[in-house]
Chain A
Amino acid sequence: MQAGEILRSEHPADTVIQIKKLSHSYGKKQIYHDLNLTIKAGTVFGLLGKNGVGKSTLINILMGYLEPSAGQCVVFGEPSHCLSANTRQRIALLYEGFTSYDYMSIQQVERFFAPFYRRWKQNIFYDLIDRMDVQLEQKLSSLSFGQKSQVVLGLLFAQDADLLILDDYSMGLDAGYRCLFIDYLKNYIRDTNKTVLITSHVMSDLEKLVQQVAIVDRSSAVYQSSMSDFCQQFHCYETAKISDEFISSYTEVHRIEHKLNSTRLYSFMPHNELEQHVHHPLTKVDICFEERFLGFVGKY
């Protein structure tokens, strides 16, 4: 029995990605410690975190480009570092920075990738390209970054893969291209069982897209939840100016943020309960997902 077969037998059929007890560090800086993560088929999973906390590291480990210090990553039942060609066929991968063959034209790059994928959807690729004012003979290097990103995304969507891993799709894109991408992605995965693992630091785009989140911060712990639970359970409260020393004794407070004349507290605890704990009157503040995310990971 091969190692891959053992993993497959332990791997539930609806699980696309399974990470077990994964640890990784760069020198003395630990990025992940004993991370367990499961992504089910059909899920849009957001791997969120500020710049430099290890989102791309996890993607690189998942795709076998990095070797974790410990633990195991399994994608479609196969160890991530030695995925078979058939499994790679099922995974569309967007590399950070929209890496592609800049010396090829739009048409050439499509013709290059097409023969490798059995389910190649040429119409999807050209549908995205047609939305831009570009010539098919134009080299990728001559396109604007936004235009190039559309070409790369077109190549990804055309693969008709079961799993899309989109590493920092928003990098370098203006609001227009980001919107175009999110709208297209939503339509693309609607009524399908496609799984999406997406990383970004632009939170506003993700709120209505992502179903499950894992938030990576500078600690080696990773917060995992559904998007709706996170939005419903993680609150922001405001109170009169209080000191850090006073509040630091309350573990229920996730983060404290000082404003000019007030202090904001971020916590998973409901309003009343937290008020009783901190013995201070609190006002619940309505915040967007991005503020909620920053409340969780901190601004600095």
Chain B
Amino acid sequence: MVYKAIYKKEWFKLRWSALALCVVALSSASYFWFNLDFTFKSIEPESMMWYRFAQLEDKPYASLAPFFLFSALVIAVAQFLPEIIRNRVRILTHLPCPLRTVVAHHLIAGSLSIFSINTLMTLALITIIRRYYPDEIVLVAAKDCLFWSLLALALYLGLSAAIIERNRWRKAYKLLFPVLLSLLYFKNRYASQDLILIALILWLTLPVYDSFLSVKVQRVKSILYHLSIGAVCLLIVSVGITRYQQEYRHFVEQYYIFYSPIINDFIYQKNGQGHQFSYGTQTTTFDRQEYEHLLPFVYWKNLDIQGKLPFTLHGQQYDKQRIKAARLSLQYHPASLDTKEVALYPLFNPISHKGVIPFPEEVFAIKHDRIVVYDCETIQPEPLLTEQTNALLKQQHVQFPIDTMWGKITNMKPYDWGYFFKDNLGRLFNLKRGDNTLTVNEVLVPQQVGEIVHMQISENRQQNVYGYAINHLSQVYLISYPNYKFIPLRLDGFDYQTMTFHLISDPIQYIVRYHDDKIYHAALFNRDFQFLKSVTLDSASSQFSH
């Protein structure tokens, strides 16, 4: 009966706010629906929207996320502001009932309100999403809504603690917790480690109880509580640092290292602050004009404009076509290792006699034990293609679950080499479709290559290489076209987990430069990918070493 009385009281207090939030939720969801429908109707094919979601992580419902936090703010204020106006909270603390019971039932009432409102929003959102996206994306949307709801609960508890607290300083730090949590955990993509929010939600009930005790000049005295404050602060700092590094850290190339075929030496461009550049070799410095002159294959367009093409170097003549035909650029960044949240890939189908690659209507999803090909028009599995694909996979003895899928997921390329994937046994396969024909071929990986951790596929006009692969020992291999030969590149000191690399080719040589922001390396290879020489530059001392 006591509990019922509390819930009734809270209902009288919260009903209008909750109703208003429900109206806002449904209105926002309706607007979202209208907007999404318009977007789908104005994009052709619809699979482009799926692509944007899966590959660009462009979630159309992300604009609804603030609602979840807003609901927490409204309920916390509506529930506890009336309690501190005219110090009504004293009535609660004097009720002949253990204070922790009173607090618990108030928090349950508030949390249930937030949960119900956010569930309404989630259901509305899921209902809308289901009309346009496959189950894989619907699940991600549901997961995002769940985490936003958890964050809303954390925010609600933190705000409640701050509102009730009597001491000004403690009020400020109690307010800091929900603000920081909102900043740190309000994001576009959640992972299982973010479930720590549940522990934080449970912990946040303690500061609320402490705030209620403060009304009677009491505090939670447990040493464990005080220790837990320290632990939560540490957690927030550590999550903050990680988030900062994930979101804002980027590799700034302080040095561009090239190899000049004119002076047969490595030369650099130092990128200083404020658009300040300096140029030189390990023994001398020079101006920009000289720098560009020493790199005719990099600045060939200038030479073309100046009418200096073709030019002769070491007895060989190089014209525009020859230079262009030799150019190739392959890049790597550790962020490339991050897997996509949704394993959905457009199933390209270039028709060779028709020209450019159209963006396909079919998208395949990797399931635990099979591949499902969806028709984006109907949002249903395409039975024939699905059956055909799985039959081919079976024929090649592909072992599920498929570990990783690599490919250049765009139709802005001269042709399509399809996708490369590793099966559960670590074997590499190439899946592609062209001229309405689907193929799956095993790529024989030499034993010494070992475990491949990353591949980059690059459909280039040269058709020399498929791209590159990196193994678990940070050894980089170029994969030759069309025979899948793994050509090792000697990149001393390369670590795929911390370094970027950039391979650039010209008609004479290949240069691969790689760095971790501190140490810059460059390695030179001939056209047969044979190592010629290398250089290392320490950015701290600006000293070269070979």
Contact = CB atoms under 8 A, between A and B. Distances in A.
B113 to A, nearest CB: 15
B9 A65 contact: no
Contacts of B87: 95, 99
A115 B1 contact: yes
Interface residues of B, number: 23
B12 A66 contact: no
Interface string A60-97: 00011111000000000000011001101101010101
B82 A103 contact: yes
A117 interface: yes
Interface string B47-88: 000000000000000000000000000000000001000111
A116 B218 contact: no
B91 A99 contact: yes
A237 B57 CA distance: 91
A38 to B, nearest CB: 23
Contact of A89 (B4, B9, B96): B96
Nearest to B217: A67
Most buried by B among A95, A100, A111, A116: A116
A112 interface: yes
A104 B91 contact: no
B90 A99 contact: yes
A104 B12 contact: yes
A108 interface: yes
A117 B97 CA distance: 9
A101 interface: yes
B216 A64 contact: yes
A82 B9 contact: no
B196 interface: no
Interface of B is mostly: helix
Nearest to A105: B12
Contacts of A86: 96
Interface in B113-135: none
Contact of A99 (B9, B12, B86, B216): B86
A228 B86 CA distance: 36
B98 interface: yes
Nearest to A99: B86
A101 B88 contact: yes
Most buried by A among B97, B216, B218: B216
A151 to B, nearest CB: 13
Contacts of B218: 64, 81-82
B215 interface: yes
B91 A116 contact: no
Interface in A206-225: none
B215 A65 contact: yes
A112 B11 CA distance: 12
B96 A93 contact: no
Most buried by B among A91, A101, A113: A101
Contacts of B8: 108, 111-112
A107 to B, nearest CB: 11
Most buried by B among A67, A95, A108, A112: A112
Contacts of A64: 216-218
B364 to A, nearest CB: 57
A86 B96 CA distance: 6
A85 B90 contact: no
Interface in A42-66: 63-66
A88 B96 contact: yes
A130 B94 CA distance: 27
A116 B9 CA distance: 13
B13 A103 contact: yes
Interface in B1-37: 1-2, 4-5, 8-9, 12-13
Interface in A100-128: 100-101, 103-104, 108, 111-117
Nearest to B82: A103
A82 B215 CA distance: 11
Given A64-B216, A115-B2, A85 B98 contact: yes
Given A103-B12, A112-B8, 10 more contacts: A65-B90, A65-B217, A85-B98, A89-B96, A93-B94, A97-B86, A99-B86, A99-B90, A108-B8, A115-B2
Interface of A: 63-67, 81-82, 85-86, 88-89, 91, 93, 95, 97, 99-101, 103-104, 108, 111-117
16 contacts: A63-B216, A64-B216, A65-B215, A82-B216, A82-B218, A88-B96, A93-B94, A99-B86, A99-B88, A99-B91, A101-B12, A112-B5, A115-B1, A115-B4, A116-B2, A116-B96
Interface of B: 1-2, 4-5, 8-9, 12-13, 82, 86-88, 90-91, 94-98, 215-218
